[in-house]
Amino acid sequence: MRLAGKVALVTGSARGIGKAIVERFAAEGAAVVISDVANEAAARETLAAIESAGGKGMVAMFDVGDAAQVDSAVAGILAAQGRIDILVNNAGITRDNLLLRMSEEDFDAVVRTNLKGTFLLTKVVSRHMIKQRSGRIVNMSSVVGMMGNAGQSNYSAAKAGIAGFTKSMARELGSRGVTVNAIAPGFIQTAMTAGLPEAVQKAFLQQIPLGRFAAPEEVAELALFLASDAAGYVTGQVIGINGGLYM
């Protein structure tokens, strides 16, 4: 029970990597806030499964890119749970296109959810963690933010932005007992990657030394380490989990 007594808020956790993270955290004793902008029924199903296994938590539906929604959702979570010990900024979207065909709207949408959402949540939750003098923040970057990818200039910019944001936050919050790290996943099998053309998937696979894609549960294991007491001296890091795709 590595997270006993902790409250963890994970954005974008109705499915995919976020869902695997709330399930893993709940199994380690955390009260989990399953939060998303869509798929409320799936979020409630996940909560029911966690509760029937003896865990606890709540569902909070809000858009991470909307400051007013973020502020009122976090206030509601604090009223219900009393504290937030762990924040995982996991919500993310892609709108892929080559630069010449990329609309301003698709660029803004990706930066808004991935990068601005991380900023908005961190701003309001860290205020509370500073008062608590403890906290763990884990941001979801991407291997693409480190190595780039044709067709993902908006996404790679947002994910590289998250890496820089993570390091600045680690410097601002370290003296208050709050650690801030990022995870940079490679190719993880979720709905986000299932839509990629088979040729693109094959091309990626050929570049991965471990010769396979990863399951969301493998990313959840790294998130658990970073959220736990075991990672007390780890901050400002961007940790790759990519099968060797980028080193």
Binding residues vs ligand NAD (CB under 6 A): 11-12, 14-18, 36-39, 63-65, 90-93, 113, 117, 140, 142, 185, 187-188, 190-193
Residue 243 in contact with residue 214, Cβ under 8 Å?
A: yes
The single residue listed with the structure tokens 């044709």 is 150
CB of 131 to ligand NAD, least distance (A): 25
Find the shortest distance in angstroms from Cβ 60 to ligand NAD. 10
Q: Is 214 left (phi over 0), alpha (psi -120 to 50) or beta?
A: beta
Q: Give whichever of 11 and 166 is closer to ligand NAD, judged by the CB atom.
A: 11
Distance CA 11, CA 75 (A): 15
Q: Of the residues 25, 62, 107, 155, which is catalytic?
A: 155
Strands, sheet with 238-241, edge to edge from the N-terminal-most edge strand: 56-61, 31-36, 7-11, 86-89, 135-140, 178-185, 238-241
The gap from C-alpha 91 to its chain's centroid, in whole angstroms, comes to 6
User: How near is the Cβ of 90 to ligand NAD at its closest, in Å?
Assistant: 5
**Residue (126 or 155) nearer to ligand NAD, CB:** 155
Nearer Cβ to ligand NAD (76/177): 76
Minimum CB distance to ligand NAD smaller for 113 or for 179? 113
Interatomic CA distance for residues 61 and 4, integer angstroms: 24
Active site residue 233: no
Residue number with CB closer to ligand NAD (54 or 160) = 160
What is the residue-wise DSSP string for 6-53?
A: -EEEEET-SSHHHHHHHHHHHHTT-EEEEEESS-HHHHHHHHHHHHHT
Q: Can you give the C-alpha Rg of the chain in angstroms?
A: 17
Min dist CB 1 to ligand NAD, Å, is: 25
Q: How far is the CB of 146 from ligand NAD (least distance, A)?
A: 10
Which residues are annotated as catalytic? Answer: 155
